[in-house]
Structure 1
Amino acid sequence: MPKVSVKVKWGKEMYPDVEVNTDDEPVLFKAQIFALTGVQPERQKVVCKGVTLRDDSWANFKLTNNALVLVMGSKEEDVPAAPVEQTRFVEDMNEAELATALDLPEGLINLGNTCYMNATVQCLKTVPELRNALLNYDASSGGGTAGGLTAALSETMRALEGGGAGACAAAAARLLQALHAAAPRLAERGAGGQLAQQDASECWTEIVRALRMRLPIAPAPDSKSLIEQYFGGTLDVELVCSEADEPPTRTSETFLQLSCFISQDVKYLQSGLRSKMAEQITKMSETLGRDAVYTKTSKISRLPAYLTVQFVRFYYKEKESINAKILKDVKFPLELDVYELCSPELQERLTPMRTKFKELEDASIETSGNSKNKNHGDSKKDSRRKTIVPYWFENDVGSNNSGYYRLQAVLTHRGRSSSSGHYVAWVARGDSWLRCDDDSVAPVPEDEVLKLSGGGDWHCAYLLLYGPKILEIPEEEEEEPMVTDAPEPAGNPPTALA
């Protein structure tokens, strides 16, 4: 009988009728205890009949109905309240007080080397179309391990929307269990039995793969996936043999993220992306009957609304048998323009929207210049209503129609190998930024985000998530009525990004 009802005693507190499912991993029970007591799982010692519960197994820990479970461990010390209420300045607040004062979102507790999962979820949560699709996901729709992972992520999104620390802890435990079921290699344990640190990029890939299968745009077998619609791009690829007079080979490839390979010459994200678009490869030549060198040239023919970029920072070091890390400083921008990486045909299609951005920028500069010639009292912010122009092509919702992007999430790693260290998510919220370090969420200035480019033992950017740059035009300057009638993306209008 895997499900039992037990009594949990912590200090002087008694919690009766706590339902435990021993088919779940013990970490889920510890998350339940955290929800009841506020004691972090790593600070808990859980005992029943003299036997201590391990993190990885229920072995010898026998639970029966109405059994008494003792919990030892203290909550992290709270800052004592002042005897007289005083004005509290932001600089003097601890993180818990900041979270309340600034209405900060919830974080996800670390269940034992699960920072890679927590950081991935916080980054993906910044995509409104994906977040809304998960909030409305039917968890009873099945779908095997992919369906289980999607359902668990849906529960996690709901908990993060205001479910409280207890709900987030329980959701994180179920998400971890579903992730292990979908990708057993992520459930590896260290020599001491604790969960091993995993690669955040692998976790990102597994979650996106599951969502690609379980989040169709419409309820039809051949419908396009929401992931393909908003995260998927297309490349026009040309192969030219450098050693024989062969006709060029042209193909089309799809991608869900771009890679920035780090070499000695790469100092900026754009140059790293550009070098990957023109590279030398070796493949079999039918003309020569042997391997030959080919020049592979790629151009983007379809830009997704949300562009994921991975810094290829890890490589396998055979001598130490670890994935060692490249710490090199590679700068990345808050605003990214990928026009030069696109095919000539796509560049032509991007031009009209790029022209609109340029016209608005010129008008803004002119207005700013005129305001300097007026009294200070007249230099008020433009309060006119504005029309948000769709960021996608009219016949391709979920695309990017300008080539302009804004950075909205950075997943970083601190440490020397992918199997150790710590992962953190840094996410944009309006005009400000938040650092999501497991269950600790705190505001950070924008310039701190730009310092995540690497070069030392501080956090290095590993995955970047760029969203579409939004064009807002004052209503009386809007010249194309079709803009206001354009269809909105499934689940959420683009205003959520503004």
Structure 2
Amino acid sequence: LVQRSSEIGSLGRSSAVMEQADAAPVAAVGPVPTKGPLSWRPSVVGAGLQNLGNTCYVNAVLQCLTHTPPLAISLLNGQHQRACQKQPFCMLCAVRAHVTRALLHPGDVIQPRKDLVASFHRHRQEDAHEFLMFALDAMQRCPSEDTLIQQIFGGCWRSQIQCLRCLGVSDTFDPYLDVTLDITAAQSVEQALRELVKAEKLDGENAYHCGVCLRKGPATKRLTLHRASKVLILVLKRFTDVTGDKMDKKVRYPEHLDLQPYLSVQKAGALDYELFAVLVHSGWTCHQGHYFCYIRAGNGWWYRMDDSKVTACDTASALSQSAYVLFYIQRGELERATGGASADRAPRSPGADPIGRDAAVGEPRSPSSIRVSASEGPLAETDIQEITLEQWRRHQEHSRPKAEFNLRKVEPALRPIAVSEAQEVYEPLLCAGPPSAGPASCG
């Protein structure tokens, strides 16, 4: 039931991946932090992605990775790019270039980099989860940054077998990047997790040979979380291994998930995770259908991202899907990424534009109404710039809510983007209007 690290990365290892000349990595974005992570709270969602022909599974995975806070922060601080040798190809640099372009072009449609899928895509519908694990494994194999993916997505299971004769205990530890849940009999993610860690009796033909008493006899086996990952990837096992047929049933999944009951060593207090991405498959088998996703951007708003179409939606819509892959982040990691406050607690008002109108159409934000902090932590009160009442009214007029924005243009080719150090795409944006305007109303 658990995806072991040894099973990850068997896809595409024999195929060489060559970096394309028209898709060079972008320049470093902003200064390298000396203490702590960069603040992560963009005011808008990233760009839509063009479908290049049966690449919806790629687009859905890239959108989920783009909006994974600790991964985006680590890539955008520029430290890896300066140390990387890029020989012959670096998946981390390729993903970094994609993340930067997506966040610098809100309201547009961009093409996903072809070198991201050159050794995986076979011009047919592929499985999104397989591509996700392929991408994570490829990023792990960068020699100059071989621990980043483990630090973000990696955790460790403890498999404990206890002999019922001498009560001797044997522990085995297995690392993981994702957790596969059997949903055959489960109606919710919590129920599937409880089934995963339920104690198993080893007896009869499955009797255990104890290494302590050196006898074969009954034993119990239980799987628990020895070390929980910062970002938790839950895969709902919807497809059969042989035919690829889909189990199309609704499985409830929470916005907030507590992993405390599944830990090897119980600790005081909850181990809270928050949902930030939902990957969905529409269709009857893994060989056909369509992939799209729901993501929660740094401004706290949910969006449906379906190739080039990006639509603002409510939380209820994001929680009512027939999910295939769920992305959760530890509450503490999310608070560090968003400057000390969980994104879902962001105040919202009827006048707040969740997409950010000026950013969506490529218009520069007015320096009189918005100020980008140069610090790495939350903004202080002295960082707020005053505006006139008339400026605030004009700001409110531009920030009327829109259910959907039309993506304006498709970039014809993948070009290197030079980013100056003044462009802090992941620095917090703070509207200078009254608190009722909300965090996402900096149109």
> TM-score scaled by structure 1?
0.53
Q: Is 1:314 matched up with 2:239?
A: yes
Q: Do the aligned residues in 1 keep the contact of 2:160 with 2:170 (CA within 8 Å)?
A: yes
For each residue in 1:172-199, what CA deviation from the matched residue of structure 2 results, as whole angstroms up to 9, or x when unmatched?
Answer: 1x3x334232xxxx333xxxxxx11011
Instruction: Please report how far the alpha carbon of residue 150 of structure 1 lies from its aligned counterpart in structure 2 after TM superposition.
Output: 2.5
Mapped to 2, the partners of 1:228 and 1:284 lie a distance apart of 35
**1:111 counterpart SS class:** coil
**Which residue identity is paired with 1:187?**
H
Correspondence 1:119-138 to 2 at 5 A:
119-135=60-76, 136=78, 137-138=80-81
State which of 276, 289, 300 in structure 2 corresponds to 1:421: 289
Q: Do the aligned residues in 1 keep the contact of 2:207 with 2:219 (CA within 8 Å)?
A: no
Residue equivalent to 2:313? 444
Residue equivalent to 2:159? 237
Tell me how large the CA RMSD over aligned residues is.
3.9
Residue equivalent to 2:118? 180
Instruction: Please report how far the alpha carbon of residue 441 of structure 1 lies from its aligned counterpart in structure 2 after TM superposition.
Output: 0.8
**Which residue identity is paired with 1:122?**
Q
> Closer, same or farther in 2 for the Cα pair 1:250/1:492, shift >3 Å?
farther
Structure 1, unmatched stretches of 5+, are: 1-22, 32-101, 189-194, 218-223, 355-401, 453-459, 474-486
> Closer, same or farther in 2 for the Cα pair 1:245/1:445, shift >3 Å?
same
State which of 88, 112, 115 in structure 1 corresponds to 2:56: 115
Residue equivalent to 2:104? 162
Mapped to 2, the partners of 1:424 and 1:119 lie a distance apart of 5
How many residues are paired up? 301
Instruction: Please report how far the alpha carbon of residue 231 of structure 1 lies from its aligned counterpart in structure 2 after TM superposition.
Output: 1.5
Mapped to 2, the partners of 1:293 and 1:150 lie a distance apart of 47
State which of 75, 81, 84 in structure 2 corresponds to 1:141: 84
Instruction: Please report how far the alpha carbon of residue 216 of structure 1 lies from its aligned counterpart in structure 2 after TM superposition.
Output: 5.8
Residue equivalent to 1:434? 303
Q: Is 1:256 matched up with 2:177?
A: yes
Q: Do the aligned residues in 2 keep the contact of 1:410 with 1:427 (CA within 8 Å)?
A: yes
**Which residue identity is paired with 1:271?**
Q
Instruction: Please report how far the alpha carbon of residue 151 of structure 1 lies from its aligned counterpart in structure 2 after TM superposition.
Output: 2.5
Instruction: Please report how far the alpha carbon of residue 428 of structure 1 lies from its aligned counterpart in structure 2 after TM superposition.
Output: 0.6
Mapped to 2, the partners of 1:249 and 1:268 lie a distance apart of 31
Mapped to 2, the partners of 1:144 and 1:206 lie a distance apart of 19
Structure 2, unmatched stretches of 5+, are: 1-17, 24-42, 342-375, 378-424, 431-438
Residue equivalent to 1:304? 229
Mapped to 2, the partners of 1:202 and 1:440 lie a distance apart of 24
Larger proportion of helix:
1
State which of 252, 259, 277 in structure 2 corresponds to 1:338: 259
State which of 141, 145, 153 in structure 1 corresponds to 2:95: 153
Mapped to 1, the partners of 2:151 and 2:19 lie a distance apart of 35
Q: Please identify the structure whose Cα radius of gyration is greater.
A: 1
**1:154 counterpart SS class:** helix
Instruction: Please report how far the alpha carbon of residue 168 of structure 1 lies from its aligned counterpart in structure 2 after TM superposition.
Output: 2.4
> Closer, same or farther in 2 for the Cα pair 1:300/1:140, shift >3 Å?
closer
Q: Is 1:270 matched up with 2:190?
A: yes
> Closer, same or farther in 2 for the Cα pair 1:447/1:291, shift >3 Å?
farther
Correspondence 1:213-224 to 2 at 5 A:
213-214=141-142
> Closer, same or farther in 2 for the Cα pair 1:165/1:448, shift >3 Å?
closer
Mapped to 1, the partners of 2:427 and 2:180 lie a distance apart of 29
State which of 147, 157, 164 in structure 2 corresponds to 1:225: 147
State which of 280, 284, 287 in structure 2 corresponds to 1:412: 280
Q: Which has the higher contact order (CA 8 A, sep 6+)?
A: 2
> Closer, same or farther in 2 for the Cα pair 1:421/1:440, shift >3 Å?
same
> Closer, same or farther in 2 for the Cα pair 1:426/1:250, shift >3 Å?
same
Residue equivalent to 1:403? 271
**1:447 counterpart SS class:** helix
**Which residue identity is paired with 1:427?**
I
**Which residue identity is paired with 2:135?**
I
Correspondence 1:4-403 to 2 at 5 A:
104-135=45-76, 136=78, 137-138=80-81, 141-142=84-85, 147-163=89-105, 168-169=110-111, 172=112, 174=113, 176-181=114-119, 186-188=120-122, 195-214=123-142, 225-240=147-162, 247-264=168-185, 266-278=186-198, 280=200, 285-286=208-209, 295-317=220-242, 322-344=243-265, 347-348=266-267, 351=268, 354=269, 402-403=270-271
> TM-score scaled by structure 2?
0.59
